[in-house]
Structure 1
Amino acid sequence: MRVGLAPMRDLLARLGAPQASLRVIHVGGTKGKGSVCALIEAGLMRAGLRVGRYASPHVESVTERVCLQGRPVADAALARALTRALDAHEAARRDGTAGADATWFDVLTAAGLAIFGEAGLDWAVIEVGLGGRLDSTNAVDGEVAVVTNVGLEHTEILGQTRAAIAAEKVGILKPGAALVTTLDPDDEAGAVAAARAAALACPILRPAIPPGAPIAEENAALAGLVLDHLGRRGARGRDCLPLRAALLDAEARAGARLPGRLERRTIPTAAGPVPVVLDGAHVPFNLAAVLRDLARAPDLSGPCIALVAMAADKDAAGFLSALARSAEAVVCTEMPERRGHGAAALRALAAAAGLEAEAMATPEAGLAQAADLAAARGGWLLVTGSLHLVGALRGSTQA
């Protein structure tokens, strides 16, 4: 766990401080932050503005992390920026300055900001990687800080309570910025966020979201509130009209859909095509929201068969308990190149939660087995627990 942002700031200084020229909207939270970033990006682009979006993790290609006008940058452009950032890291090592301790995520983030600094952007939408206060992205100064929500995640790094995690996430709020969040001030995490905002004399904006609203509506409400706030503060589009939530029309929302977030696809089997939902949910309350939304889908009939892999720092027992409330069976697998829960360990946890469960050594074998189960039972398949799992298998499904 890092103890400061000095390495990141050293890298950026050596790259000419590209972040200093950017107008930034900074987005953190436990779930939904990537989708909220994409929606804000879509609204700004609808207003005719030039926009960059920095995101993590990627699903299939690292270039997904650095987008200009809604499209990942070219391989060559990212390679050039990474070379510059790595050169800055090497120079810091020679000079014995803070940048010598930069992480890979520092280098990648610095490369992304360097691209944005040269692109003549009107706005940069920056997604937090992990936490917020000490995240590499917190070297930027956002005019708006979004904290979508707070759940228990990365507890070995961020803290054991939602209040402790909220303190890390709201660390992206800077003096003079506005905080946009769903957190209620009476909630333990919301109280921490409110105290931080009060200490910095920052306004707090909360969207009106009915209980049980679909994930897409919650994300759109947060993004729309950001656009309305910027418009009230004088930010305008190319048409000279103030920014506003109405920019997020149906076309803009459709264009903001990200891979691996409630993504609907199919997979062929001997018994015919099986509906597949790809979603990288990895914390229990996020999965519960995903399953609640999918329960409303009239075309997903029959039992849910899930394919699950999870990183080692995730609450696998809680996740599988949430899954057991909706799924009939689960196939557990693992990502060999990543530190994660073993397939056999996940199967044991799933069985303890009351799920019919089996383990497969590889994601590919797990996908084949889960798809055959879904086909045999007239059901559908949910691939979840990790965006890395989604990325590894997305190419094996069909749009």
Structure 2
Amino acid sequence: MAMAGAPTYREAERWLLGRELFGMRFGLDRMRKLLTALGSPQRTFRTIHVVGTNGKSSTTRFAAALLAGEGLRVGAYTSPHLVTYRERVEIGGVPISEVAFARAVAEVRRATTLVERRLEPGDLITQFEALTAAAFLAFAEAGCEVAVVEAGLGGRFDATNVIDSEVQVLTSVGLEHTRWLGPTVRDIAGEKLDVVTPGGTLVAGPLPTEALEVAERVCAQRATRLQRVARPLPLELAAKGAFQRLNFALALAACQAFLGRELRPAAIRRAAATTMPGRLEEIAETPLTLVDAAHNPDGVAALASSLPAVLGGRRPLVAVVAILEDKDAAEMLRKLGGVCDEFVFTRADNPRSLPPGTLDALAAKVAPSRPRSIAPAADAALRLARARAGEQGAVLATGSIYLVADLLRPAEAGRSIL
């Protein structure tokens, strides 16, 4: 229990939610000033930096688990969260306590007040900057020896690009956030690869030719070793989905480059037991009900390839779908239409979520043979989908991490959505 006068988690949460109003602003000047005001906590631990289009969070968690299995005190910073901000800041594979999180955010809040007095009017610390600073402060105070840090968006001007990482991981590159990162795969790769530091190691997953060319050029310019990982590990993982074996292979290569040696089999076995919330996560049986945070065409393609092994022949498969307006919804629906038998469209609790009617109209064009329904809210959509699937079928909720969050929050609060 927090002492009288001590900051509380709810206060920290309210302050962070208020920072959402300031939106997203690129640039590292605010972040550097904020960390300086906090005593530069990011300099107290070593780092691995993870960037990419898909697979960042899973790769980050796998890498943290692998290093912890080697006896290191490890922090992991991921985003976004599903239920609580604390999920973004893990130490030893466990989200930090409400007390520790509140204390870190309170320190960041005090530093923010000082920094913003010296900034130009309207140039304010963003929510992601505040969260990143709080994570670094929490890692320092917990005595972490290493932190595995997931970038938020891009790389060059992302708030996480203030660390001197020894190893960087590029999980994948696809067309995403073109408004901010550029219109081509080459542009996006360049933005992400700006995190590469001289003399380190870049571990890269399978890349389009244009992205690989950028990676080779950047590594040559910065005297950085490029290590490519093209194949998934033939390893049984607790995390569902064939795509996770590639993420694990990337994490293992990154950790071996970081330590300069192979990892012990016991550490690998321990990390293989890591589960991934919101990634092919089972939330109910009869019918089998899964949630997955795939939110772009490449993510949906990876999800679709993993479904047969997870479903075990259950049919029909009814998809509950919500998609944000900046995604390629038509292509996502086309890919989902190839594996799902029926759609139930809804919207996530996010102002950028497309109206269900828009998704319905798109599906009529790209997957015309699939029956379609509309439900106004996520919980109602899930109940309808479960009724349509029946006891022998299955339900998959996907298309947006915000949809997954909507469906997981009630369970966290002790309420049923089924």
TM-score (norm: length of structure 2):
0.86
Aligned mates of 1:166, 1:101 — CA distance in 2: 28
Aligned mates of 2:347, 2:105 — CA distance in 1: 30
Aligned mates of 2:206, 2:271 — CA distance in 1: 26
Structure 2 CA distance for partners of 1:294 and 1:80, relative to 1, 3 Å: same
Q: Which runs of 5+ in 1 are unaligned?
A: 233-241, 268-272
Aligned mates of 1:282, 1:127 — CA distance in 2: 17
Q: Sequence identity, in percent?
A: 38
Structure 2 CA distance for partners of 1:173 and 1:300, relative to 1, 3 Å: farther
Q: Which residue of 2 aligns with 1:225?
A: 253
Q: Which residue of 2 aligns with 1:63?
A: 86
Counterpart among 326, 332, 346 of residue 319 in structure 1? 332
Task: Confirm or deny: 8 A CA contact 1:43 1:247 kept in the other structure.
Answer: no
Q: Which residue of 2 aligns with 1:236?
A: none
Structure 2 CA distance for partners of 1:45 and 1:105, relative to 1, 3 Å: same
Q: Which residue of 2 aligns with 1:8?
A: 31
Q: Which residue of 1 aligns with 2:297?
A: 284
- Amino acid aligned to 2:231: I
Task: Confirm or deny: 8 A CA contact 2:54 2:298 kept in the other structure.
Answer: no
Q: 243-252 or 82-91: which moved more?
A: 243-252
Counterpart among 71, 75, 80 of residue 48 in structure 1? 71
Structure 2 CA distance for partners of 1:221 and 1:397, relative to 1, 3 Å: farther
Q: How many residue pairs end up in the alignment?
A: 382
Aligned mates of 1:363, 1:35 — CA distance in 2: 25
Counterpart among 119, 123, 128 of residue 105 in structure 1? 128
Residue 299 of structure 1 and its aligned partner are, at CA, apart by: 2.3
Q: What secondary structure, in the 3-state scheme, does the structure 2 residue paired with 1:190 have?
A: helix
* Residue deviations 1:171-225 (CA, integer Å, cap 9, x gap): 11111221001144x7111111111111101000112406999212101111111
- Amino acid aligned to 1:311: L
- Amino acid aligned to 1:195: R
Residue 266 of structure 1 and its aligned partner are, at CA, apart by: 1.5
Alignment partner of 1:257 is 2:266: no
Q: 330-339 or 29-38: which moved more?
A: 330-339
Task: Confirm or deny: 8 A CA contact 1:321 1:350 kept in the other structure.
Answer: yes
Residue 317 of structure 1 and its aligned partner are, at CA, apart by: 0.9
Q: What secondary structure, in the 3-state scheme, does the structure 1 residue paired with 2:389 have?
A: helix
- Amino acid aligned to 1:253: A
Q: What secondary structure, in the 3-state scheme, does the structure 2 residue paired with 1:101 have?
A: coil
The 5 A counterparts of 1:53-132 are: 53-96=76-119, 100-132=123-155
Structure 2 CA distance for partners of 1:369 and 1:205, relative to 1, 3 Å: same
Could you say what the CA RMSD is over the residues aligned between the two structures, in angstroms?
A: 2.3
Structure 2 CA distance for partners of 1:3 and 1:266, relative to 1, 3 Å: closer
Residue 19 of structure 1 and its aligned partner are, at CA, apart by: 0.6
Aligned mates of 1:110, 1:262 — CA distance in 2: 30
* Residue deviations 1:62-118 (CA, integer Å, cap 9, x gap): 100011111101112111111111221111222336995321110111111111112
Structure 2 CA distance for partners of 1:390 and 1:292, relative to 1, 3 Å: same
Structure 2 CA distance for partners of 1:211 and 1:110, relative to 1, 3 Å: closer
Q: Which runs of 5+ in 2 are unaligned?
A: 1-23, 235-240
Counterpart among 223, 227, 234 of residue 201 in structure 1? 223
Structure 2 CA distance for partners of 1:130 and 1:154, relative to 1, 3 Å: same
* Residue deviations 1:23-63 (CA, integer Å, cap 9, x gap): 00000111111111111111111111100011101111110
The 5 A counterparts of 1:155-170 are: 155-170=178-193
Structure 2 CA distance for partners of 1:99 and 1:23, relative to 1, 3 Å: farther
Structure 2 CA distance for partners of 1:80 and 1:182, relative to 1, 3 Å: same
Residue 313 of structure 1 and its aligned partner are, at CA, apart by: 1.2
